[in-house]
Amino acid sequence: MSHESERRPGDVASDASAFYATVAKYLVASERLAVCTILRLTGSGPRRAGAKMLVRESGGSAGTVGGGVLEVKAVAWAQEVLRTGLAFCRPFALDLQQASDEGMTCGGEVEVLIECLDGRTPAVRDFFAQVLTVLTRAERGFLATAIAPSGSVVETEHFLVTSGRLLVSPSLSGLGLPEDLLRGPVPTAPGLVGRGVIRYFLEPLAPPITVCVFGAGHIAAHLVPLCHLLGFRTVVVDDRADFASRDRFPQASDLIIVPSFTHALERLPFGEDSYVVIVTRGHAGDEAILRQALRRGPGYIGMIGSQRKRRLIFEQLAREGFTTEDLARVSCPIGLPIGAETPEEIAVSISAQLVAARAARRGKG
């Protein structure tokens, strides 16, 4: 079996939507896959619980459990599962000396679940198609994987839950999902819970964060591909149709042309899953977007500009009644302070800050 990575932009990003879209694509093609999932991490490690990698029986992989010696082991385990069809869990400890020898810097322990998904089985195809549908519709729910010991291997069963309802389970193994897990709150982070000898790995399903980029100039042209690669959904908004075009932004999820920036946010739903990047071509456009964004409560607001521009706009908004707390939510100058000057460097700076905001929101910062 060949093993060639398929981690090209757009195949698998850091969000669940991209990974499960890849899983569904291969299952629809009746392929057999081995999926490796980190169930828990003790100490330091390259990836946390919930990190996933798939290995195709026909060759190739997608996703990652952290690279290095752990990933080599995971690929070998995946190939074993593809040969036998039997799932198992494996602990993997990497002490500091071994980590150094392997070119890694972490010395924690992980437990990895490796299981086979057979695309020739209609129930398996249908289950992951429904998972993708939930994510596409931006519904909130979670996946529960029951893991029951059976000698040297494990028996698994998957459950898809949304709005307190069990949508689907791909098999009739009898493991079941306890009522308290079914009716309980949606988990906020991947993790294990025990019920007797059966463990349940719970994975929240959430749509990717949407980055709304206001301004379709040079910075946006470099920022949107980076955001796409990093697993964000992107929307580009401008008042110039020749700038906010599909030719310039092939990776954008949506392109919106507005008559002006004065009421540009009216067509967009906003919440904590929305991040606002303000990089219009002028002071007036930036101020107009910022004024609207502060009233809508997105999860992140960043505005390009100097300290002088920040002071002038903030003083104006303060006169309009915006509080110190409101204005403290704005990252301006936008991006991490890496000494960026060119549009490409500024895009890297902004995208890094977006990743940091996302990680903090997920409790990883």
pLDDT, tens digit (0-9, with 9 covering 90-100), for 51-97 = 999 999 999 999 888 878 888 999 999 999 999 999 999 998 865 44
Q: What are the C-alpha distances in Å from 230 to residues 131, 211, 223, 226, 356?
A: 21, 11, 11, 6, 12
pLDDT in tens, 17-38: 788 989 999 999 999 999 999 9
The answer to whether residues 304 and 278 belong to one domain is yes
In a domain, 70, yes or no: yes
Q: Output phi, psi for 118, to 5 deg.
A: -105, 110
CA distances from 110 to 53, 70, 185, 211, 334 (A): 14, 9, 26, 32, 36
Q: Is 53 contained in some domain?
A: yes
* Residues 276, 281, 282, 285, Cα dihedral to 10°: -40
The CATH number of residue 308's host domain is 3.40.50.720
Return the amino acid letter for 132.
L
Same domain as 252, residue 117:
no
Q: Are residues 276 and 331 in the same domain?
A: yes
Predicted local confidence at residue 8, as pLDDT:
34
Q: Is residue 2 part of a domain?
A: no
DSSP reduced 3-state for 109: strand
Whether 302 and 339 share a structural domain: yes
Q: Is residue 6 part of a domain?
A: no
Structural domain total, the chain: 2
**How far apart, in whole angstroms, are the C-alpha atoms of residue 14 and residue 209?**
11
| pLDDT tens digits for range 154-184 | 999 999 998 778 877 766 567 788 888 888 8
For residue 363, the model assigns a pLDDT of 62
Residues 156 and 38 in one domain: yes
- Tens-digit pLDDT profile for residues 217-263: 999 999 999 999 888 989 999 999 999 999 999 999 999 999 999 99
Query: 249 and 354 share a domain?
Result: yes
Domain identity same for 200 and 290:
no
199, pLDDT greater than 80:
yes
Do 197 and 272 sit in the same domain of this protein?
Answer: no
Same domain? 326 vs 289 = yes
Share the mean pLDDT of the chain.
86
Question: Tokens in use for 70?
Answer: 């752990």
Torsion of Cα atoms, 131 then 134 then 135 then 138, to 10°: -170
Same-domain check for residues 134 and 272 = no
Kindly state whether residues 171 and 31 are assigned to the same domain. yes
- Do residues 153 and 253 share a domain? no
Domain-embedded: residue 29: yes
7 in any annotated domain? no
Containing domain of residue 75, as a range?
Answer: 16-205
